[in-house]
Structure 1
């Protein structure tokens, strides 16, 4: 068959399987803007109303199901929720920053009832998964998701999964879909994180800064190194203190209500506890006393949007991409979705 026929079959299959289910997802606004972007074919705009999902999951401090992930010579525990018929199309839900698979509590059973084999995973460093002290480049989550799809989801050899991710989970889903099209049927990104490649002017300014650094005297190199060490220490101290404040239940609820401006009641005590509990040092998910260091590494490594620009990921993407945006999100604004669509039109 021609590549055009295969492309059309992929688009149709993803629409039939993913769109009705994904549109049940909650967002800050009752009407959610959505768009289907198929690289390099362009953009189809859709508008949809959200149904209210029923039968949400309930929070528990005990692990749901666990999978042992071999990472860099270490065996890490990965917590995940599973539901739906095992023969169903795999549907992997990837949470956002600071959250866990439980954040999909109102979606898992709805998708499972629609016939999907649903998995809501806790990324390494979050939820009830292990929290090693390591380099938290988003590649760690890409590789985790790919290994999970193979080993738990049974993907490969023709079996592929739908990936849906929110915030940093949307970025992880896009990275996984771009790198491993043989595992992925399509990607849905809900207010996905990530950065764009620098403009020509920004790239030129960066080159000038690098040239200036290369021309420094030995004394200036020593001074700059001392300053960088001091700044890094101050940033680490700020992150440590920030975590202590941020993980207090009152503060967690305040932050959640910022992203639920239309339905602040969604930030209930159960959701708050699902975020607070995994941030405690006492539950053995990280080396003793190292939760603040893990938090610092995740924030400092990903605070500017990840190591691989969205432009590059989109240029490599061979599977359909569904963009969903809650327009009242105060952090990852809907104009980013518009910019992604412009890349797809180019």
Structure 2
């Protein structure tokens, strides 16, 4: 297979943040997708090409506050849901309700509510993992795939190194019942606040208002347990029953040999990510036919905040090519 095109993007001046007028830009709505009530915001012309933005942990639709205006201004119909279990969306009980295949089915069902039944799918962190899975299991509904600091789930498990396992120590902690919920909620969600404040590469990338909104989202009943169940479902291997071609390896881990993703794919990666190694971008040509990688050496896991302007530029250029 051909070598993946890799671009390295830096900035000496930093990136501008979206204004505080995000609430004036978006409208709120909800729908039933895959049997679950999902809250979402949307912006841009309804007849524009649809773009679905999938957030990660521990966030909600607001994760995309810097991308929503840029995409809407460019003429896209942007839909950013609260993922199953998050913020104002429904929170089903039980770990099995958060299997990766179920989450991908949620996205596919959401896309089917759009007039075209196909969309550009963009995901960060857990939203990126779900975006990968959606392109694997519902390729007919994904026109392009863009992933920000999220590993391909099958590559992640197959190539799991000691270094990556060390970085992902928290995922093991999250397998324990109730204790992670109490730890994260303690002292007015101090651990979540610290995750944002200390995890970014650009000081002040998250404002006090951002932190207030995130804490409010997780103060909703059941929100923390539901969000942690993403990790628990993946960690317990329930995903292996659902992804095509999966076989068990070392307990609940898996390797698979599915057909490579054929959807045009862009991977945007902040290299200063303490949780996920940049090695996750190496070897993707074995999993994706048409993939390019753009790396941001001066950005963290929260690349859409640290390098918002450059992320928007790369995303709009990629979507404009299709």
TM-score of the superposed pair, with normalisation by structure 2? 0.69
Structure 1 residues 132 and 271: alpha-carbon distance in aligned structure 2, compared to 1, 3 A threshold: same
User: Does the C-alpha gap of structure 1 residues 304 and 272 become closer, same or farther in structure 2, counting only changes over 3 Å?
Assistant: farther
Which of 231, 245, 265 is matched with 2:204 structurally? 265
Residues 296/175 of structure 1: CA separation in 2 closer, same or farther (3 Å cut): closer
Contact 1:175 1:313 in 2 (8 A): no
Match of 1:161 among 115, 119, 132: 119
Q: Does 1:45 align with 2:6?
A: yes
Residue in 2 aligned with 1:187?
145
Kept in 1: contact 2:86–2:223 (CA 8 A): no
Note the 1:1-346 alignment, pairs <5 A.
43-49=4-10, 52=16, 54-55=18-19, 57-58=21-22, 64-71=28-35, 76-134=36-94, 135=96, 136-151=98-113, 153-156=114-117, 160-193=118-151, 194-196=153-155, 197-198=157-158, 235-245=176-186, 248-261=188-201, 263-281=202-220, 290-291=222-223, 293-303=225-235, 307=240, 308=243, 312=256, 315-341=259-285
| 8 Å CA contact retained: 2:34, 2:106 | no
Measured at CA, do residues 88 and 164 of structure 1 come closer, stay the same or move farther in structure 2, by a change above 3 Å?
Answer: same
- Give the unaligned 5+ runs of structure 1: 1-39, 200-231, 283-289
Question: Are the counterparts in 2 of residues 95 and 166 from structure 1 also a CA contact under 8 Å?
Answer: yes
What is the DSSP-based 3-state SS (H/G/I as helix, E as strand, rest coil) of the residue aligned with 1:331?
coil
Q: CA deviation at 1:184?
A: 1.1
- Counterpart CA distance in 1 for 2:70 and 2:236 is 34
In structure 2, the partner of 1:33 is none
2: CA distance, partners of 1:65 / 1:313: 39
Q: Which runs of 5+ in 2 are unaligned?
A: 160-172, 247-253, 290-322
State how far apart, in whole Å, the 1-side matches of 2:228 and 2:53 are: 25
Task: Supply the RMSD in Å over aligned alpha carbons.
Answer: 3.5
Q: Which has the larger radius of gyration?
A: 1
TM-score (norm 1): 0.65
Partner Cα separation in structure 1 for residue 190 and residue 260 of structure 2: 42
Question: Contact 1:166–1:192 at 8 Å: present in 2 too?
Answer: yes
Call closer, same or farther: CA 1:302–1:268 in 2, change over 3 Å. Answer: farther
Find the counterpart in structure 1 of residue 313 from structure 2: none
- Contact kept in structure 2, 1:57 and 1:106, CA below 8 Å: no
